[in-house]
Structure 1
Amino acid sequence: MTRRLDDARILMYSHDTFGLGHLRRCRTIAHSLVEDYRGLNILIISGATIAGAFDYRARVDFVKIPSVIKLHNGDYTSLDRHIELDETLKMRQSIIRHTAETFKPDIFIVDKEPMGLRGEVEETLTYLKAHGTTLVLGLREVMDAPHLLEAEWKRRDTMRKIEQYYDTIWVYGPPDFYDPLTELEVPPAVRERMNFVGFLQRSVPREELPGHKPEGDYILVTTGGGGDGADLIHDFIHAYQQDPGLTHKALVVLGPYMPVKKREKLIRKGSKIPHIKIIEFDNRMEELIAGAKGVVAMGGYNTYCEILSFDKPALIVPRIQPREEQLIRARRASELGLIDMLLPEEAEDPLRFAAALKALPQRAPPSKSCANGLRLEGLVHISEIVGGWLGEQSSEHLSIVKKSS
């Protein structure tokens, strides 16, 4: 039910250095909240180069900060190569702080990076905490391999800072799927603040665009942002080349961050196969996944939520480095019978990949394999939590006004 709130404000932070996952997750949460609460305004701070390529509902907007790119070796560089990284980070930090001071949010939600990229959010967290803003850390259900995450967080003293700043931690998954802080030394105060809200359900846009989806049955192949997706697309096309019996119609979405030379090479290669259509980017992926007979993907968080939301048979070929997040998620989902999985080296075998692709449309959807794995309650739970917080603030404000009058 839609409720009215009096000028409530939520600020969200999405560092966005490599893919689209953080921005798409923030946008999903923001759209759900403004649909539930009419007086709510949400502003998303994003470093995504294509933040403006997505549509935003009324009362949801974004502030673009200078983009920083994460390289395959884990280092960062400014998108504008003429500006030093340190200068770019100073600009980002200043914009974030100034936005918070001007916007005056009731709630500040930070996606995945507790202190932001290279600590750029810590100053803003200090400011907002002193001004009574509710501070929320949102974590994927899988962050990374425990030993990698522990080393990274110890180096940055992250766990202590989480305890110092954050009022609550939302885990975007159910507790029986995976614990993002498993095997880490978690202070009791941090553990008590963790709330496993559930996976974030996706829905198709209200207005369909004519000619947006292919006609007839098709398999959808998606690499998310595409920055590290070229190998999957290459292996997919190779499977079609080596097995003439593979005739499923396929729509391949490369992703906006795929390097130009790799993108052009794959488009040329795929154009020789009549069953394959390749596009570079689509800002309405929910619609494409909802219409597909099956999905081939690397298994990032958003794609996985979409596979569950639209109950689609899926074949996941996860990225295994430098982060193991996709691998851990795919293995756990495979254990539960929700998806099929091939390791990247297995997908390099064209006949093995072709056999998995042939079987995909006949695979039982996730709901038939594991009913428990389809709990997509995250948006509902977040709405209830936010409504409770803002409703209390609204009641307190009303009480103060009545007393003063």
Structure 2
Amino acid sequence: MMRRIEDARILMYSHDTFGLGHLRRCRTIAHSLVEDYRGLNILIISGATIAGAFDYRARVDFVKIPSVIKLRNGEYTSMDRHIDLHETLKMRQSIIRHTAETFQPDIFIVDKEPMGLGGEVEETLAFLKKQGTTLVLGLREVMDAPHLLDAEWKRNDVMRKIGQFYDSVWVYGPPDFYDPLVGLDVPSSVRSKMDFVGFLQRSTSPDGEPDHKPKGDYILVTTGGGGDGSDLIHDVIDAYQEDPTLTHRALIVLGPYMPAKQRHKLVRKGAKVPYVEVIEFDNRMEELIAGATAVVAMGGYNTYCEILSFDKPALIVPRVMPREEQLIRATRASELGLIDMLLPEEAKDPMRLAAALKALPMRDPPSKSASGMTLEGLSNISQIVGEWLGRRDSEHLSVVKG
């Protein structure tokens, strides 16, 4: 049942440098919350170049900040090559601060990067803390290999700053799947703020079928944003070319961040294979995954939540560099029997990948392996937010009466 909240505002920050994961996660949470609470308005600050390509529900909007992209080696550069990275970060920092001052949120949710890209939200966190805003850090259930995350956070004194600024740390996964801060020296001041809310369930839109959805059965192949997905797509098409007995229809979605040269090459390559259809992008991936017989993916957070939400047999070929997040997630999910996994070098063998693709549609769905793997993140977040805003309204009422 939808509850009424009087003029409540939530600001969300999504740094978005390499893929769609951060924005899609923020958008999922925002849509769920406005569905549960009337009178709630949510604004998402995003650096995603295609933030405007997605539909947003009423009372959810976004502010676009200048885009920064992450290179394969983990370094960052401005999307506009004519503008220095330092200048771009200064612009982003200014827009974030000004948006917070103008919007005056009750809650500020920061996705994944505690101080923002290059520390760009630290000033805004300090400002909002003085205003009494509730500050929330949202972490994926897997961040990175502990030694890599520890080194990165120690360089920037991140753990101390999390304890200083944030009121709550939400982990978007259950505690028995993975701890994002495992292997790090986590002070009790931070650990006590951590709340494992659960995986974020996905659902389909009631607005009909997406244009690209094939008729009949199909395996969906997705690499998320696609910025580093071309190797997996080449491997899948090679498997179809090498094994004539592989006849399951495949719908391949390249992703909007795949470089144009790689995109064109893969479209031409796929056109030569009768059972393969290649498209560049669809903003309604939930519907495509829900309609698929099985899914082949690199296993980013959002795709993994969709595989669990729609209970699809899945083969994961994770990215292993520069971050190990997908490898850790896929390894853990494989241990639990939720998915099948091939390492990138294993997927390079076309006959091995073809055998895995042929077996995939007959694989048990995740629910058969782990019936307790529930997706409660959105309902838990809704309950937490409702309690916070309800307390705010009660305090306001008592001040008015007093």
What residue in structure 1 maps to residue 185 of structure 2?
Answer: 185
The amino acid of 1:83's aligned partner reads: I
- Which amino acid in the other structure matches residue 230 of structure 2? A
**Which residue of 2 is the match for residue 280 of structure 1?**
280
Give the 3-state SS of the residue equivalent to 1:351 in structure 2: helix
TM-superposed CA distance for 1:22, in Å, is 0.1
Matches within 5 A, 1:3-402: 3-209=3-209, 211-373=211-373, 375-402=374-401
Residues in 2 aligned to 1:146 and 1:299: alpha-carbon distance in whole angstroms: 19
Identify which range, 208-217 or 8-17, moves more after superposition: 208-217
CA–CA separation in structure 2 for the residues paired with 1:335 and 1:82 = 47
- Once the two structures are superposed, residues 3-55 of structure 1 have per-residue CA deviations (whole angstroms, 9 ceiling, x without a partner) of 00000000000000000000000000000000000010000000000000000
Tell me by how many angstroms 1:344 deviates: 0.2
Separation (CA, whole Å) in 1 of partners of 2:399 and 2:7: 16
Q: By how many angstroms is 1:369 displaced?
A: 1.3
- Contact persistence 2:212–2:282 (CA under 8 A): no
Q: CA deviation at 1:212?
A: 4.1
Alignment partners' CA distance in 2, 1:299 and 1:30 = 23
CA contact (8 A) 2:221 2:252 kept: yes
1:99 counterpart letter in structure 2: T
1:184 partner SS: coil
In the alignment, the residues of structure 2 paired with residue 154 and residue 208 of structure 1 have an alpha-carbon distance, to the nearest angstrom, of 48
Name segments (4+ residues, structure 1) moved above 4 Å.
none
Paired amino acid for 1:396: E
Aligned amino acid, residue 389 of structure 2: L
Matching residue's letter, 2:65? I
Q: Deviations over 1:78-125 (max 9, x none)?
A: 111111111100000000000000000000000000000000000000
Deviation at 1:259, TM superposition (A): 0.7
The CA deviation string for residues 125-150 of structure 1, in whole angstroms up to 9 with x for no partner, is 00000000000000000000000000
Residues 326-366 of structure 1: CA deviation (Å, up to 9, x unaligned): 00000000000000000000000000000000000000000
SS in 1 for 2:5: coil
Amino acid at match of 1:205: S
User: Could you tell me how far apart the structure 1 residues matched to 2:357 and 2:187 are?
Assistant: 45
Q: Secondary structure at the match of 1:5?
A: strand
5+ residue gaps, structure 1 = none
| Shift of residue 400, structure 1, vs aligned partner | 1.3
Report deviation, 1:67: 0.3
- Retained in 1: the 8 A contact 2:144–2:324? yes
**Alignment coverage as a number of residue pairs:** 402
| Deviation digits for residues 160-218 of structure 1 (CA, Å, limit 9, x no counterpart) | 00000000000000000000000100000100000000000000012114644110000
Aligned residues of 2:199 and 2:305 also touching (Cα < 8 A): yes
Matches of 2:82 and 2:204 in 1, distance apart? Answer: 40
- Given that residues 146 and 183 in structure 2 are in contact (C-alpha distance below 8 angstroms), is that contact kept between their aligned partners in structure 1? yes
The CA distance in 1 between the partners of 2:152 and 2:52, in whole Å, is: 31
Distance in 1, Cα, partners of 2:369 & 2:123: 46
Q: Could you tell me which amino acid in structure 1 is paired with residue 183 of structure 2?
A: E
Q: Secondary structure at the match of 1:6?
A: strand
Matched residue of 1:337: which SS?
Answer: coil
Query: Which stretch shifts more, 205-214 or 239-248?
Result: 205-214
* TM-score w.r.t. length of structure 2: 0.99
Amino acid at match of 2:205: P
Tell me how far apart the structure 1 counterparts of residues 211 and 254 of structure 2 sit (CA, whole Å): 19
| 5+ long unaligned stretches in structure 2 | none
In structure 2, give the amino acid aligned to 1:382: I
